[in-house]
Structure 1
């Protein structure tokens, strides 16, 4: 029996984030779009909602992959568009993610990624969804997405589909 949970991630562009999570075992669905926070429902950031089977992949692995596949440890000029965040949907998920981030911080893993309550979601237009899957040979995919997928192949190979 599946135990599907959903969580939001934002960091880099949503094309990259979508591609990263689509290749993972236990990830049932990735919705690409724009996420607002529960604190500021008017401002939207590029991100994805990941629906995952917690019996096949756990939240800590998802968070570790997220932190490794975007610039989670530094500010940059595009942070107003690409908020480094984990968006939670309920208090249980908040508590679990907070424990994981605390544990990672204690291991001296540096990150600026924030844990933020989910607000609203606007799906990307159909033409740009599944961006990597529809044409992995695009120059953008080769330059930005392939290196992120290489990290998963090297460091998280057991979680590849």
Structure 2
């Protein structure tokens, strides 16, 4: 099993997307921290997954294609687009995928690759946000379109409904 942190946009959205993927065994939603100057807490998830089922490069590509990694919107830095790594191999893979996706889009790569230094979970009432009530207006408006994209472009990596 492998663990990696993913930050970008709201952690409710990131959690819902990552939970939908085959090979993911656990998703911890909360706030991630790295080294200065990226040490302010940012929303994100820690994904635990089987890289034999879900390759790391695929997980990172899904992450990049389901949030606005090319933008700069980040109120108080809490919506930082980042991949938080634990191992040197993860850094190389993340950097390569970020560069490839940015080039395909004709954009400058803005998603950061940062060491994961700390994690604190969200309040329990916010965890499993999509799974506990997918009919919430937020879920319908923001998470469902991401799950539709996943089913359309990464169908082989999505858990059966």
Q: Could you tell me whether the CA contact under 8 Å between 2:27 and 2:47 is conserved in 1?
A: yes
Normalised by the size of structure 2, how large is the TM-score?
0.90
The answer to whether the aligner puts 1:76 opposite 2:103 as a matched pair is: no
**Structural mapping, 1:15-34, within 5 Å:** 15-34=12-31
Comparing 100-109 with 5-14, greater Cα deviation is found at 100-109
CA contact (8 A) 2:74 2:80 kept: no
User: Which residue in 2 is equivalent to 1:37?
Assistant: 34
Counterparts of residues 77-92 of structure 1 (less than 5 Å):
77-78=74-75, 80-92=77-89
Q: So what's the TM-score if we normalise by structure 1?
A: 0.90
Matches within 5 A, 1:1-161: 4-40=1-37, 42-78=39-75, 80-108=77-105, 110=107, 111-161=109-159
2:29/2:121 contact within 8 Å kept: yes
On the 8 A contact 1:27/1:53 being kept in 2, the answer is yes
The Cα of 1:108 is off from its aligned counterpart by 4.9
Q: Distance in 1 between matches of 2:138 and 2:104?
A: 33
* Conserved? CA contact 1:39–1:119, under 8 Å: no
Query: More displaced, 57-66 or 92-101?
Result: 92-101
Q: CA deviation at 1:79?
A: 6.5
Q: CA RMSD in A?
A: 1.7
Q: Distance in 1 between matches of 2:89 and 2:37?
A: 21
The count of aligned residue pairs is 158
Q: By how many angstroms is 1:55 displaced?
A: 0.4
Secondary structure of the residue aligned to 1:73 is coil
Distance 2:67 2:88 in 1: 25
Q: Which runs of no fewer than 5 residues in structure 1 stay unpaired?
A: none
